[in-house]
Structure 1
Amino acid sequence: MTDTLGQVVRVKAGNSGMLYDPAFAIAPDLRVFKPGFYADRVQPVSAGGRNAAWFVHDQWGYGVLRQYRRGGLVARFNKSHYVWNGAENTRSFAEFRLLQYMHAQGLPVPKVVAASYERSWCFYRAALITQTLPNTKPLASVLQDMPATADISALAQACAHSIFLMHRANVWHADLNAFNILVDTDNKAWLIDFDKGRQLVMTASLCDDNLNRLKRSLEKVLPQQGLVFWEDLHRFYTKNQ
């Protein structure tokens, strides 16, 4: 069944469902959200993903499959189940819709391929597939590989610009950190992982919350160099305003 936007196909089978972008010739089959479906065309993501993310490829192209996992203390007794509150309120469908909106606005985010949920009584599990961003590395890895004396201003400016565009489009990132910004070989900064992200009126306070979350992440990864980079980034971000 095609939804009202005409740009998304919805498939429902029993207590499970999926959305997918018809621009991708992905099979309307919930097995595409299981890494075993891809046989030898799957590879675990080494950085981040809570051991539940894989690089995959099939007839539709190359992507990242991510199964939603809980973090923090809750994960000790519940790794992957969430309270059911309707299909459109699942983590995967919400992130799918947000990424589609952001991509339509021309923001530096990956194209979303498909989203799914599997319901069991009052709970559900979820997964998402996004298109791979080729030739990219996490910001944390880029900074770690750079000499201490390297000029970081161009990289800081690129990251600041991407974050500013996101905020100008009234999007709040729930976990903006040094691993959720990817940098390509053209020094373009891409933003990923919009689980729990939302469209909000981005006040100065909300923008600062995002930037300070990134600051804490950078200081944790690279205490001194990370802080210097963030100060440069913040200076460029402020100039955009």
Structure 2
Amino acid sequence: MTDTFGQVVRVNAGKSGMLYDSAFAIEPDMRVFDPVFYADRARPVSAGGRNAAWFVHDRWGSGVLRKYRRGGLVARINKSHYVWNGAENTRSFAEFRLLQSMHVQGLPVPKVVAASYTRSWCFYQAALITETLPGTRPLASVLKDMPATADPGALAKACANSIYLMHKANVWHADLNAFNILVDGNNKAWLIDFDKGRQLVMTDSLCEANLNRLKRSLEKVLQQQGLAFWEHLHRFYIKNQ
């Protein structure tokens, strides 16, 4: 069964299902969520992704294929299975809907291409494809390569502005870290990986919690340089309020 509403197409096939944006000429086939399908047109993402993300290229364009993986202690016994509670409640479908809503609002996030789930008894596995953001690098990498004498002000302001716009749109990021902010050649900061993110009223405490999560990440990856950058970012964020 295929239901079309707006630009989103939903395909159900037995115990599997997918959503895709009809603006992309992607095949309505579950194989597009397997990096093997792309052969030599798939290569692993080196930074972040829990070893479950690939840059892929096909006739519809270039994207990032990400399979959902658990983190923390749970991952030692269960790396990729989640409890089934309906298609619309899967991690992939929820992230697809959120990203599409954010993109329509003009927020700095990648276009979402397709999302999938595959059921197995009372569990499911999931995957998501988003469009590649050309010329971008993780914030952590940009800061590592930044000369000690360079002024990080413009970059900190760009990151603060993007985070502020996300919060103003009442979107909560579940894992705002130094690898989930990508920076392009024009110093624009893009936000990625909205797994478990959701739309809710962003109170001051929730906004600060997001910012503090980023602070911990920057400190872990870059120590004092990361903390100094966060201070710059935080000051610009406050000015936006």
> Structure 2: where are the runs of 5+ without partners?
none
CA RMSD in angstroms comes to 0.6
Corresponding residue number in structure 1 for 2:138: 138
The CA distance in 2 between the partners of 1:92 and 1:215, in whole Å, is: 27
Q: Which amino acid aligns with 2:56?
A: V
Instruction: Please list the CA deviations of residues 151-198 of structure 1 after superposition, one character each: whole Å capped at 9, or x if unmatched.
Output: 000000000000000000000000000000000000000000000000
TM-score (norm 2): 0.99
Deviation at 1:25, TM superposition (A): 0.2
Runs of 4+ in 1 over 2 A off after TM superposition: none
The CA distance in 2 between the partners of 1:207 and 1:120, in whole Å, is: 37
Deviation at 1:119, TM superposition (A): 0.2
Corresponding residue number in structure 1 for 2:226: 226
Corresponding residue number in structure 2 for 1:55: 55
The CA distance in 2 between the partners of 1:75 and 1:212, in whole Å, is: 24
Secondary structure at 2:40's aligned position in 1? coil
Corresponding residue number in structure 1 for 2:211: 211
Instruction: Please list the CA deviations of residues 34-66 of structure 1 after superposition, one character each: whole Å capped at 9, or x if unmatched.
Output: 000001100000011111000000000000000
Secondary structure at 2:103's aligned position in 1? helix
> Structure 1: where are the runs of 5+ without partners?
none
The CA distance in 1 between the partners of 2:6 and 2:156, in whole Å, is: 38
The CA distance in 2 between the partners of 1:213 and 1:102, in whole Å, is: 21
Q: Which amino acid aligns with 1:125?
A: Q
Secondary structure at 2:137's aligned position in 1? strand
Does structure 2 retain, via aligned residues, the 8 Å contact 1:84–1:123?
yes
Deviation at 1:2, TM superposition (A): 2.6
- Tell me how many residue pairs correspond in the alignment: 240
Instruction: Please list the CA deviations of residues 59-114 of structure 1 after superposition, one character each: whole Å capped at 9, or x if unmatched.
Output: 00000000000000100010000000000000000000000000000000000000
Does structure 2 retain, via aligned residues, the 8 Å contact 1:160–1:233?
yes
The CA distance in 1 between the partners of 2:13 and 2:214, in whole Å, is: 40
Instruction: Show the 5 A alignment for 1:102-121.
Output: 102-121=102-121
Secondary structure at 2:239's aligned position in 1? helix
